[in-house]
Structures are given as C-alpha cells and as structure tokens.
Amino acid sequence: MKKLRITGYILLLLVALALIFNQQIKDFTVGWLGQNRNAQVTRTTIAKSRQVKGEFDFSKVKSIDTKQVAAATFNRDDVGTLGKIAIPAVNLYLPILKGLSDTALSTGAGTMKADQVMGQGNYALAGHYMTNKGILFSPIADTSLGEKIYITDLTKVYTYQIDVKKVVDPTQVSIIDDVPGKKMITLITCADGGANRWSVQGELVKVQKATKKSLAVFNS
C-alpha cells in the first residue's frame, strides 16, 4: 500500500508539471484527485475533519484553473473529508469536503454552510462544472426528476429523491436555506457558461445504517 501511494504521488508530480501544457491532463488530474480522495474516506478521516475550520466565503469561489489543480495536487490535507456523495444514474461519485476552498472544489463536493448536518435541514453542496462532463459536478446537469442522490458519513446512508431541477440566478442564495419541516439536499453548479447556476434538490426518503450492502451504491 505504501509503495502504491508513493507511486501515486510521483505520478501526481509529473502530471502537475504538465498541467499548463495540456487541458486533457488537467482534466485527468481533477478526476484522479476526486477518485483518490473518495477511495481514502474512512471514519477516522471523517472524525479528524471536525477540527478543520473550512472556508465558506462564496465571494472567493472562482472558476477552476491549472493553478488551483496543481495546488490541490499537493495540498491534500488542508480540507476536511466529511463523507461521500453518489448519483449512480449520472455516474457521479465524489468525496464530500468541508467548505468551498479551492482545494475542496478542485477535488469534490464542498459543503456550503458551516453548521449543516447530513439528514437534517437543507444539506447544501457545491461543485465545479467542467467542460469534460464526466468530472466533478458536471453530471448534475444530466440528472432527472425521480433519480436518487446518496450521501454517507460512513455511519449512516441518506437517500434523497430529486424533486426539483432548475436554473437560478447566482444571487439567489436563499435556495440553500433550511425549509421548516423539510429534510432535503441542494446541489449547486454552474450553468450557461457560469452566468447562472443549476440547482438540483431532493427530499430525504430513507436513512439506513452504513453496512457493506448499503455502501455498495458509492462504488463506481
């Protein structure tokens, strides 16, 4: 395992050096970062993440670029890992990270509120939309009503069913506010080339204990 990890870091170093020359390599790196982080999510890493403060300033979020990707390649411990998200219908499998820092959003889905809790209120996540539609939150645009969204903290698995999908103005931040009496999830990513935002929302329909069987849905 240690040898494999060292090999992975060497590969990341070589890829990072080539980022400025090749868009495809940048896309590959972003995809690899998400998959690698997702594979390393454990109850221990989740517990440690409680000590991470997180960045929740929406105004600091900017389009992903090669500099951010290179930084995320090496700054792998500056964000907290809170769990996983899966939308099998559109082949989305990502780690859930604390906050909206460049590293978090270059790696997976970032939490949009500091105090949000899985299975409670309006659990809001944001992610980058990439021109390569299989990376990060790009698949959000291909979701359909009725499809399932799964999140887990490796203690429980929360299942949501999509009931709202729409394009909203970037200033419509109230869409992530809690709604009295509702347990829901909100996923946000760019639309119309960044001029607007996709908002996909779902209602909590099931909570299960995290077991080998219930966690199988998070395996791509």
pLDDT beyond 60 at 73:
yes
pLDDT beyond 60 at 207:
yes
Whether the Cβ atoms of residue 135 and residue 129 lie closer than 8 Å to each other = no
- Per-chain mean pLDDT for the chain: 86
Query: Which tens digit of pLDDT belongs to each residue from 52-63?
Result: 888 888 878 777
Taking Cα atoms as reference points, which of 33, 38, 31 lies closest to residue 132?
31
Structure tokens at 115: 């105090």
Query: Binning pLDDT at 50, 70 and 90, where does residue 22 land?
Result: low
Q: What is the pLDDT of residue 19?
A: 52
- Strands 184-191 and 196-209, sheet pairing: antiparallel
The set of catalytic residues is: 128, 190
- Strands 148-152 and 156-168, sheet pairing: antiparallel
Q: How far are the Cα atoms of 73, 92, 104, 189 from residue 61, in angstroms, in the given order?
A: 18, 22, 11, 12
Range of the domain at 9: 2-218
Q: What is the pLDDT of residue 155?
A: 97
Give percent of the chain above pLDDT 70. 81
* pTM (two decimals): 0.85
Q: What is the pLDDT of residue 179?
A: 95
Taking Cα atoms as reference points, which of 46, 4, 29 lies closest to residue 135?
29
Q: Could you give the 3-state DSSP secondary structure of residue 121?
A: coil
Query: Binning pLDDT at 50, 70 and 90, where does residue 69 land?
Result: low
Q: How many domains are contained in the chain?
A: 1
CATH code for the domain of 63: 2.40.260.10
pLDDT beyond 70 at 85:
yes
pLDDT (mean) for 123-138: 86
Residue 47 main-chain phi, psi, to 5 deg: -65, -40
pLDDT beyond 70 at 1:
no
pLDDT beyond 60 at 3:
no
